[in-house]
Chains A and B, each alone.
Chain A
Amino acid sequence: MSVQMTGAEMVVQALKDQGVDVIFGYPGGAVLPIYDAIFQQNDIRHILVRHEQAAVHMAEGYARSTGKPGCVLVTSGPGATNAVTGLTDALMDSIPLVVFSGQVPTFMIGTDGFQEADTIGITRPCTKHNWLVKDADKLAEVIHQAFHVATSGRPGPVLVDLPKDVQFATGAYTGPKAARVDHYKPQVKGDIEAITKLVELIENAERPIFYTGGGVINSGTAASQLLRELVDATGFPITSTLMGLGAYPASGKNWMGMLGMHGLYEANLAMHGCDLMINIGARFDDRITGRVSDFSPGSTKAHIDIDASSINKIVPVDLPIVGDVGHVLEDILKIWKARGRKVNKAGLAKWWGKIDEWKKVRCLAYEGSSKVIKPQYALERLEALTKGRDRYITTEVGQHQMWAAQYLGFDAPNRWMTSGGLGTMGYGFPASIGVQVAHPDALVINVAGEASWLMNMQEMGTATQFRTPVKQFILNNERLGMVRQWQDLLHGGRYSQSWSESLPDFVKLAESFGWKGIICSDPKDLDDAIMEMIEHDGPVLFDCLVEKHENCFPMIPSGKPHNEMLLSADAAAFAGGAALV
């Protein structure tokens, strides 16, 4: 069954048929027909951003916090190029997005027309797939395929480029069911023989560890549930990457905290010393492995991933299992239970004894102060005062991001949105708006650094216009803190261009957009100020003036193995005795 309509109407119809309720976008000449179609309906809400990069980050926040794809609409040329950072961010972190861009009319393509850019060429390496649609009769099918590709297998961003004449042209609209999608069907079931081998390894391991990542969250809430069951039933310790926080609850008894460059001492040492590593939906990123040749040298490694190209890309593994995390976990549990729920109890008890010793190092301890707010303290208070609420956290990129990962606890998936793979400053604020759009009544907080936050501050207008009561909790150290830390530790303390000069008066800035502004510099006032932020019914800009030269520890310097971790700036405290060069 097909219905005749214009290309622009098809875009709106296809979005409705895909269950889309909101699209983030910004108009321009090459998408005016679509904006006209949006004007004439009420099913799909359009959030008008102030910069296209922010539209993509908002869609990422929306997607990450709901498990549904995020949608974006931008114009040709500059609209499309502004979206590139967001697309790359979503590709690196496997976030499903469907982005529509306007294009000059088909007969003008290649003529350097006004606001023409080779959007397909520019976005080819930063999308999972992209399409240029030159024929209105093919448009509906392409859009439905785009949703299928974005959300199947390892999720990611896709882009559909729409020349203006195609938006005006009339063609046949077909629904999602009619679209041919069978060619792109990533394998979801894992190989049973390999899964059985893994169960054997689980039964015998003396020093096992689960190392989990964003793939668990992408697989859906059922996967997180199965992970909890498996971890608790086996009694194995579990650590996670930055992207995987919340899949296993931070309050769970087997939780060891995040691993990696700024991960916890016990998590990294357990990774180094384990005899069985079970990687579930993580990708051996270089922030995780440190020096690859010394990465967990004595362990048998299993790797569960839906993307076959992730396997053996960086670390060779002994037991690869290609499949969807949820499906594979279900099979592991089934087989492990059927074989009698065996684990090596004696080995495990000894292993936990070792881990408990490592925990005694209390690697997150820091020197408190009654005079200045320590960033760690600010996050501890934020955690204490917001715990138990319907809370979502986004972050920018820098020290504050790592402290947030260390000091905030996540007990559920989809509650933690951060730019992991690309490390995009300017992500957190728009992402928080996207989360709030999806969860209007929730408490949405962006833990920010002042420098990152300025990168997309124009979105204050968006938050005001659409009444998203997002809380911007800025740990203001007046420094590009993470850059300053590296210069401190690795470049002789020569702080080249790493301070934030000429900062705005954040309270006045807030007020100028109709927000509430709060400034706090005294630890004694902090609790009241945070409560004031939480209780305000509207967006809040919280300027939290913190210690300017605090460094973030633990830290594994680039290219060092896990057992050469720095616990503080004091060289004597270098774990493993390695000195910095």
Chain B
Amino acid sequence: MAALNIKKGSTSHSAYDLRDFHSDVESSHTLAVIVDNEAGVLARVIGLFSGRGYNIDSLTVAEVDHKGHRSRITIVTRGTAAVIDQIKAQLGRIVPVHEVHDLTVEGQAVERELALFKVAGTGEKRVEALRLADIFRANVVDSTLESFVFEVTGTPEKIDAFAELMRPLGLIDVARTGVAALSRGV
């Protein structure tokens, strides 16, 4: 019979998605999930990921609309195209979830993370740490005679790179916020 001109892998009711459903290649996707900020909503989202065996690489959450009590959960996850489609469909089923955006598919998103690094050292190492921090546009937010706390903002990759450089220079503690992301343009 006549072959259908419909691509495999669509989960939307009408759009015939162009990605290859059968590809086994895993890729990273950044999802923005808009939810009612009510008790337990984060547990529902996390429970979905653990219960169905999906990955979470990073997760951030905060109320973004205080009047409407809406929170934005930004999740960085990994999976094949089929798994990513399932994750989105499953998220969409959760009752307090209003919107699910795949920022990776919707166009290159702006992704930023904030991190704090505590680096202890004296002499040459201390000077070198400060010099590198300057290159990374890190701010010094705390300082003693033998330590700094640097604040760095950037993509997760930039923060990883900064961590690598600080490690031999006396890095003793790191705190990262996880990724916040927005689509570009309007």
Contact = CB atoms under 8 A, between A and B. Distances in A.
B13 A124 contact: no
Contact of A321 (B13, B82, B95, B98): B13
B85 A312 contact: yes
Nearest to B48: A125
A121 B43 contact: yes
Interface string B1-34: 1101010111111100000011000000000000
Interface stretch (B86-94, B142-150, B175-183): B86-94
A132 B95 contact: no
Contacts of A300: 1, 4
Given A124-B44, A206-B1, A312-B82, A184 B95 contact: yes
Given A276-B1, A308-B92, A309-B93, A320 B11 contact: yes
B14 to A, nearest CB: 4
Contacts of B36: 183
Given A300-B4, A307-B93, A316-B8, A322 B13 contact: yes
Contacts of A149: 95
A323 interface: yes
Contacts, number: 82
Contacts of B96: 129
A215 B96 CA distance: 24
Interface string A177-207: 0000001100100110110010001001110
Contacts of B123: none
Nearest to B7: A318
A308 B95 CA distance: 14
A452 B4 CA distance: 47
Contacts of B85: 312
Contacts of B9: 312, 316
Contacts of B93: 307-309
Contacts of B6: 197, 318-319
A313 B43 contact: no
Nearest to B39: A132
Contacts of B12: 308, 320, 322
Nearest to B98: A183
B1 A193 contact: no
Contacts of B43: 121, 124
A128 B95 contact: yes
Given A308-B89, A313-B86, A318 B14 contact: no
Contacts of B40: 120, 124, 132
B97 to A, nearest CB: 10
A503 B6 CA distance: 58
A204 B1 contact: yes
A125 B90 CA distance: 13
Interface residues of A, number: 37
B89 A190 contact: no
Contacts of B11: 308-309, 311-312, 320
Nearest to B21: A316
B48 to A, nearest CB: 9
A383 interface: no
B13 A194 contact: yes
Contacts of B22: 316
Contacts of B92: 308-309
A275 interface: yes
Contacts of B94: 129
Interface string A132-174: 1000000000000000010000000000000000000000000
B81 to A, nearest CB: 10
Contacts of B51: 125
Nearest to A319: B6
A193 B96 CA distance: 30
A201 B2 CA distance: 8
B174 to A, nearest CB: 31
Contacts of A275: 1
Nearest to B4: A318
A130 B65 CA distance: 23
Nearest to A120: B40
A578 B147 CA distance: 71
A201 B4 contact: yes
A96 to B, nearest CB: 14
Contact of B21 (A183, A312, A319, A323): A312
A191 B12 CA distance: 10
A204 B43 CA distance: 48
A16 B44 CA distance: 31
A308 B14 CA distance: 12
A320 B47 contact: no
A191 B13 contact: yes
A125 B47 contact: yes
Contacts of A187: 13
Interface string B103-114: 000000000000
A498 to B, nearest CB: 31
Interface of A: 120-121, 124-125, 128-129, 132, 149, 183-184, 187, 190-191, 193-194, 197, 201, 204-206, 275-276, 300, 307-309, 311-313, 316-323
Interface of B: 1-2, 4, 6, 8-14, 21-22, 36, 39-40, 43-44, 47, 51, 82, 85-86, 89-90, 92-96, 98
5 contacts: A124-B40, A129-B94, A312-B9, A312-B21, A323-B13
Closest A-B pairs by Cβ, 5 of them: A309-B89, A191-B14, A322-B13, A129-B95, A191-B13
Given A309-B89, A316-B9, 20 more contacts: A124-B40, A124-B43, A124-B47, A128-B95, A129-B94, A183-B36, A184-B95, A193-B14, A194-B13, A194-B14, A201-B1, A300-B1, A308-B92, A309-B90, A311-B10, A312-B9, A312-B10, A313-B86, A318-B8, A321-B13
